[in-house]
């Protein structure tokens, strides 16, 4: 296994110095699924707190912009774009999040944070109807740019 970049020579955690890296366009897309019972899904349009899907979308975008405040060793990035979609399916809500920047480091954590916070927001807005809602399948779908090259989940 190659040396992990978030640890110094003594094994202590550290923020990676990216100052020698070139700025390149970088993108990332992430996924999350919120498993919800059909009877709860049917009540989404009548939610007294508002539209859970739209609130989740905005929460995810806001979270992408705050990722470095939540993940200790993440670099603060100026995002040029962040987006979240939340789509109702027969067994729950599927969330896709994306982030884009031109920077010295990637935006995988921003996309993943957006997907997670959007999923948590769906839970928060529906938990009064069912506490057994599950957040599942959080993962990176793809990333582009940077020294390590592109990644596309098969």
Express each pLDDT in 29-45 by its tens digit: 999 999 999 999 999 98
Q: For position 142, which CATH number holds?
A: 3.30.70.640
- 21 phi/psi in degrees, rounded to 5: -80, 150
3 in any annotated domain: no
Q: Give how many domains the chain has, as a whole number.
A: 1
pLDDT of residue 2: 56
Per-residue model confidence as pLDDT tens digits over 91-129: 999 999 999 999 999 999 999 999 999 999 999 999 999
Among 129, 44, 141, 26, which residue's Cα sits nearest to residue 86? 44
- 46 phi/psi in degrees, rounded to 5: -105, 15
94 in any annotated domain: yes
pLDDT of residue 7: 66
Per-residue model confidence as pLDDT tens digits over 53-99: 999 999 999 999 999 999 998 999 999 999 999 999 999 999 999 99
1 in any annotated domain: no
Q: Given pLDDT bands bounded at 50, 70 and 90, which one contains residue 3?
A: low
Ranked by mean pLDDT, the top range of 16-25, 118-127, 144-153 is 118-127
Active site residues: 124
Torsion of CA 106, 108, 110, 112, to 10 degrees: 180
Contact 48, 125 (CB under 8 A): no
pLDDT of residue 88: 97
15 in any annotated domain: no
CA atoms of 135 and 49, how far apart (whole Å): 20
| Helical residues (DSSP H) of the chain, grouped into ranges | 38-41, 52-65, 67-70, 108-126
56 in any annotated domain: yes
Mean pLDDT, the chain, rounded, equals: 92
CA atoms of 142 and 14, how far apart (whole Å): 26
Which of 3-17, 74-88, 133-147 is the least confident region?
3-17
DSSP letters, 9-39, are TTS-B-----TTSPPEEEEEEEEEEEE--HH
Q: Given pLDDT bands bounded at 50, 70 and 90, which one contains residue 19?
A: confident
Q: pLDDT > 70: what percent of the chain?
A: 95
Q: Given pLDDT bands bounded at 50, 70 and 90, which one contains residue 1?
A: very low
What is this structure's pTM? Answer: 0.91
- Domain containing 59 equals 24-147
């Amino acid at each position: 296994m190659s040396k992990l970049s978030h640890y110094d020579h003594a094994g202590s955690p550290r923020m990676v110095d990216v100052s020698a890296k070139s700025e390149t366009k970088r993108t990332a897309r992430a996924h999350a699924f919120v498993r919800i019972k059909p009877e709860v899904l049917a009540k989404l349009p009548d939610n007294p707190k508002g539209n859970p899907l739209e609130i989740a979308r905005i929460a995810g975008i806001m979270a992408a912009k705050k990722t470095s405040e939540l993940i200790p060793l993440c670099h603060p990035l100026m995002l040029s774009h962040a987006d979240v979609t939340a789509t109702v399916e027969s067994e729950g809500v599927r969330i896709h999040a994306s982030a884009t920047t031109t920077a010295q480091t990637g935006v995988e954590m921003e996309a993943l944070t957006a997907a997670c916070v959007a999923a948590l927001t769906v839970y928060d807005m529906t938990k009064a109807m069912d506490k057994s809602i599950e957040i599942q399948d959080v993962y990176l779908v793809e990333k582009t740019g940077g020294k390590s090259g592109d990644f596309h989940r098969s």
